[in-house]
């Protein structure tokens, strides 16, 4: 008999495929897993020019898509799923949890919510650099950039595997990147989270070498859920996680925590 549903939420430029190994760990432990691709993030979009409708997608659109997925899982009276979100998926998991749509949540290197100040020059420089490079970011969709991925997020992945993983990445909505990376310019506050409404157990996990969502920022995320969130920093782990030497260790850590906390939630 299944322990319940786990909904895995991928990050920007990625797809549900990133969770292949983690899903195997969960399935062996008796969980039923679901890893949907966000709109225009399926395998058919890898290596292709951005879909003409991609730039219209915002964080709210991604969240509503996931709300529909959760409603489908909860048909017939099933409890809300456990959420596991990576990067942008970690932000979406926080928003869904604040809407009482999760029984527990794991935030892997999560993007911080609206109002969370950056804690490193890499975060500040990356946001400003993206604005200077792209101009009106909100009206564009951006293809993945190998040099940026190699330096910032996939730096701990062996080169051959890095190339294979990068080939599976897809373009991303500039509007979503604007709303997450430069939240102080977004007066609609698309990335806002009502943290006080989150009443579930949470694990916030990040690598010590993460340049995209540094450990100090993720620790700040965990503090917003004081008494509900556990923070863990993993040495020698970068941002992408999937394909890094410590991936299996991290997967076991996540699965152990969910087995202990989500079953009792």
Residue (of 177, 170, 160, 162) closest to 242 by Cα position: 162
Q: Whose structure tokens read 């969960």?
A: 26
Q: What is the pLDDT of residues 221-240, one digit of tens each?
A: 999 999 999 999 999 999 99
In CATH terms, the superfamily for domain 5-261 is Alpha/Beta hydrolase fold, catalytic domain (3.40.50.1820)
The pLDDT score that the predictor gives to residue 15 is 98
**193: Cβ contacts below 8 Å, ≥ 6 apart:** 91, 94, 95, 98, 113, 114, 224
Task: Give the number of C-alpha atoms closer than 13 A to the C-alpha of residue 153, restricted to the C-beta side.
Answer: 23
The pLDDT score that the predictor gives to residue 130 is 57
CA 23 to CA 31: how far, in whole Å?
9
Domain locations in the chain as residue ranges? 5-261
**109: Cβ contacts below 8 Å, ≥ 6 apart:** 86, 87, 90, 205, 206, 207, 210, 212, 213, 218, 239, 241
pTM: 0.94
Residue ranges, the chain, pLDDT below 50: 128, 132
The pLDDT score that the predictor gives to residue 264 is 53
The pLDDT score that the predictor gives to residue 259 is 96
The pLDDT score that the predictor gives to residue 187 is 86
């Amino acid at each position: 008999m299944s322990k319940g549903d786990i909904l895995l939420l991928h990050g920007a430029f990625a797809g549900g495929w990133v969770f292949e190994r983690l899903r195997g760990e969960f399935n062996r432990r008796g969980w039923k897993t679901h890893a949907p691709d966000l709109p225009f993030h399926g395998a058919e979009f890898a290596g292709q020019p951005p879909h003409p409708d991609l730039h219209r997608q915002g964080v709210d659109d991604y969240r509503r898509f996931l709300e529909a997925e959760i409603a489908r899982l909860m048909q017939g009276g099933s409890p809300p799923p456990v959420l596991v979100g990576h990067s942008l998926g970690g932000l979406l998991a926080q928003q869904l949890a604040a809407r009482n749509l999760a029984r527990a949540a794991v935030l892997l290197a999560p993007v911080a919510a609206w109002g969370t100040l950056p804690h490193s020059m890499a975060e500040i420089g990356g946001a400003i650099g993206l604005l200077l490079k792209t101009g009106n970011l909100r009206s564009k969709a951006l293809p993945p950039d190998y040099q940026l991925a190699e330096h910032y997020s996939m730096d701990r992945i062996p080169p051959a595997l890095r190339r294979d993983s990068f080939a599976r990445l897809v373009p991303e909505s500039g509007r979503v990147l604007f709303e997450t990376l430069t939240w102080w310019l977004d007066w609609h506050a698309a990335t806002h989270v009502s943290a006080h409404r989150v009443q579930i157990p949470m694990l916030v996990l990040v690598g010590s070498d993460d340049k995209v969502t540094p450990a100090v920022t993720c620790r700040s995320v965990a503090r917003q859920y004081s008494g509900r969130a556990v923070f863990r920093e993993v040495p020698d782990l970068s941002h992408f996680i999937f394909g890094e030497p410590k991936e299996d260790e991290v997967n076991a850590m996540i699965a152990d925590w969910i087995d202990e906390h989500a079953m009792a939630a």
